[in-house]
Homo-oligomer: A and B are copies of this chain.
Amino acid sequence: MEVSILGAGAMGSALVIPLYDNGVDVKLWGTEYDVEILKKIEKGEKHPRIGVSLPEIEIYYPEQLQEVLDSDVILLAVSTDGVLPVFEKIKDKVDSTLITISKGFLEHGKVMTIPETLWTIKPSLKEKIVAITGPSIAREVANRMPTKVVFSSLGDASKIAKYFENEYYRVEISNDIIGAEITAALKNVYSITIAWIRGYEQLSKVEMSNAKGVIATMAIKEIARFVEAAGGKKETVFGLSGFGDLIATFRGGRNGMLGELLGKGFNINDALNELKRMGVGVIEGYSNAKKAYMLLKQLEKDGAITLDKFPLFTNLYNVLYKNVSVKEALSKIFS
C-alpha cells in the first residue's frame, strides 16, 4: 500500500504518522510554499507547525509532482485556494482513490464543495473521492493523541480507512460526503460569530457564556438547515463533522482571531489589516462566507430554502461584507 500526500503543511504532514505506524509507504510532496518545511523534515528537524519530527519517508519537492502520482491513494492536503491549481496539474494522471482534507467551497461555474468540484471536472472520480472531516487538530494527530474522524464517500471509504485506522486514529464511515463537506466549511465560517462574543467580552470586561451558548446553538441549527437544503443529512451536522469539530476547535484558529477583532469593535477592513500586520495568513472563513452566501442564494433560487431562515449567517455576512458593526449585529440577533 502506498499513499502520496500532496502538501506538507500541518495536516498533510500529521497524517504521515498514523500511516507510517500502520506500515503504509508514504511519499510526501510539498508545494512551493512548503520548501523550507521539506528541508527541515529531510534534516530530521521538527516540523514547525506540528512540533514533531517525521519518520523517514520519501520527500518530494515542488518540481517532482509527477513522480508521486502512481500511488494507490493520493491525499490532497493543500490549502483550499491550492486545490484547483494542484488538481489541474494531476487530474489527467490520477485515477486512484483521491482523499481531500481541505475545508471550504470552490467556484467552478457555480459554488460547490471541493469533492463536487473535482468530480465535476473529472466524473470518473465520483466514487473514488473520500473526504476527511471531524475533530482533528493536526498537532494532536502527529502526537498520537486519541482522535476520531469521518471518512465520507459516495463509494466505499472503508477500503481506504483501514490503512489509516489504528488505536489512536479512529475512523467512522459515512456516505454523506455533501453534508460532511458543507458542515466542515460552514463550521469555519460560523466560528467567526462565536468569536465575536469573546472579543466583546474582552472589550467590555464582562462574561457572556450564555450568549456563546445561544450563538453556537443558532450556528448548529442554521448549518443543519443549510446542509438539508443542499441534499445532505442533518445528522452529519450533529455528529463528529459538525458538533465534534466545533468543540475541538472552539477558539476557532484564524477565523476566531478575525471574529475576536470584530467583536472588539474593529471594522472588517481594519481587522483584516491588523491580522496582516500580525503575520496571520489567509482567513479562509472570510472568503468562504462569501461563497456560502452565493450558495445560499442559489439554493433560494432553486426553492430549497429562504434566506430569512439564516439570521445569524445574514448578520455575519453584513459584518464581513456590508460594514455593519458586531454590536449592531448582536442586537439584531438577540432581538
Q: Which residues of A contact B (CB under 8 A)?
A: 134-137, 139-141, 143, 145-148, 167-168, 170, 206-214, 216-217, 220-221, 224, 238-240, 243-250, 330, 334-335
Known: A145-B206, A167-B334, A207-B139. A213 touches B238 (CB 8 A): no
What are 10 residue pairs bridging A and B, where the CB atoms are less than 8 Å apart in the complex? A135-B209, A135-B212, A135-B213, A135-B214, A137-B210, A140-B210, A145-B211, A167-B335, A209-B248, A213-B246
| Nearest residue, chain B, Cβ from A170 | B334
Complex CA gap A168/B210 in Å reads 11
Complex CA gap A211/B169 in Å reads 10
- Given A143-B207, A146-B208, 6 extra CB contacts under 8 A: A137-B209, A140-B207, A145-B206, A209-B249, A212-B248, A216-B244
A148 lies within 8 A of B248 (CB): no
Known: A146-B330, A213-B134, A330-B146. A140 touches B244 (CB 8 A): no
CB-CB under 8 A from A140, the residues of chain B are 207-210
B334 lies within 8 A of A212 (CB): no
Complex CA gap A239/B134 in Å reads 20
CB-CB under 8 A from A248, the residues of chain B are 209-210, 212-213
Complex CA gap A140/B224 in Å reads 29
Complex CA gap A146/B245 in Å reads 25
